[in-house]
Chain A
Amino acid sequence: GDSVTQMEGPVTLSEEAFLTINCTYTATGYPSLFWYVQYPGEGLQLLLKATKADDKGSNKGFEATYRKETTSFHLEKGSVQVSDSAVYFCALSDPGTGGFKTIFGAGTRLFVKA
């Protein structure tokens, strides 16, 4: 079945450091890919998305490119801030096999130190 694998955390960075959180997926169809962010005590917020190969999603300085050849959707940010500390979830939605259900990765916790 479809699945999402993302790097284990926690990831601890200093402010202004470069961030990469790796995400790979398996899917039988043509999924859309998402990154969600969860701040402490809150629900999930959509951070960015890409619906087809080579699309780049971007928001708030974060970027991720849909790479079909490597089945990846890595999240990057050039300069993180303390306020970016949160849990980041990579996810996919594949209508071919799962209707419009969303499958989430395990989440990667990010700590940014001042």
Chain B
Amino acid sequence: GAVVSQHPSWVICKSGTSVKIECRSLDFQATTMFWYRQFPKQSLMLMATSNEGSKATYEQGVEKDKFLINHASLTLSTLTVTSAHPEDSSFYICSARGSPDSYEQYFGPGTRLTVT
């Protein structure tokens, strides 16, 4: 089956620093990747949609300059949290869609970010 990995699985950083999270589709080419944020005991909030070779589309209320998304290849998308603050602490999950006509998304295991 389709596998999506994320790295790192957890990260602790100091306030004011930046952290990069990678999302890779391991056995398929992902035309579209999605980035979600999940707060404790809550549902997933879509942050942005990332298409290979083009700029990401951000959801309303998500700061583009704070959450930088790059989809440089068909198997890799990165999310960089710039100048992180404690309120950015969360569980970040990516997903990938392999076919332009497919509804199905394959989810990564998530990255837990803690900003101290």
Contact = CB atoms under 8 A, between A and B. Distances in A.
Interface of A: 32, 34, 36, 42-46, 49, 51, 89, 93, 95, 99-102, 104-107, 109
Interface string B70-111: 000000000000000000000001010100001111111110
A36 B32 CA distance: 19
Contacts of A107: 41-43
A106 B44 CA distance: 8
Given A100-B32, A100-B97, A101-B34, A44 B44 contact: yes
Contacts, number: 49
A49 B103 CA distance: 10
Q: Is the interface of A mostly helix, strand, loop or mixed?
A: strand
Chain A to chain B: the 4 pairs with minimum beta-carbon distance, closest first: A93-B103, A43-B109, A44-B107, A43-B110
Given A51-B103, A107-B43, A44 B93 contact: yes
Interface residues of B, number: 21
Contacts of B103: 32, 34, 49, 51, 93, 95, 100, 102
Contact of B43 (A32, A101, A104): A104
Contact of A104 (B32, B44, B49, B108): B44
28 contacts: A32-B103, A36-B107, A42-B109, A43-B93, A43-B108, A43-B110, A44-B44, A44-B95, A44-B107, A45-B107, A46-B104, A49-B103, A51-B103, A89-B44, A95-B103, A100-B102, A100-B103, A102-B34, A102-B46, A102-B95, A102-B103, A102-B105, A104-B44, A105-B43, A106-B43, A107-B42, A107-B43, A109-B41
A74 B109 CA distance: 25
B14 to A, nearest CB: 24
Nearest to A105: B43
Contacts of B46: 101-102
A110 B41 CA distance: 12
B104 A49 contact: yes
A97 B104 CA distance: 17
B113 to A, nearest CB: 14
A59 to B, nearest CB: 12
